Amino acid sequence: MVLVLIFSNVGFGDIAQNLGDYYSIDKGKVYYKNKILEGVNPKTAELIGFSLLKDDKNVYYMGEKIKDIKIKNFEKLGQNY
């Protein structure tokens, strides 16, 4: 019982997830290096190429949103594309 209380107080379950070298997800926020990317959906964020991240609405390159693109045109390619 004591262990459960200790784990809940230190945020057990809020484990950071690395997406490639520069992107990460932690505590419901998506980061590029140490910068929070506002508006990115952490539930749908995925790395689709070197420094390219997409969520359900936008695509980001090196942490910057790419404007005027259609998200349905982007997909993750395998290494032998």
Give the span between the Cα atoms of 3 and 53, in whole angstroms: 37
Residue 21 parent element (H or E)? none
**Bigger pLDDT: 5 vs 70:** 70
Q: Which residues contact 5 (CB under 8 A, 6 or more apart)?
A: none
Q: What is the mean pLDDT of residues 13-40?
A: 89
**Bigger pLDDT: 39 vs 74:** 39
pLDDT at 81: 62
List, as own/partner pairs, every contact residues 31-39 make where C-beta atoms lie below 8 angstroms and the sequence separation is at least 24, other chains included: 32/60, 32/62, 32/63, 33/63, 35/63, 37/63
pLDDT tens per residue, range 31-49: 999 999 999 999 999 998 8
What predicted TM-score, i.e. pTM, was given to this entire model? 0.71
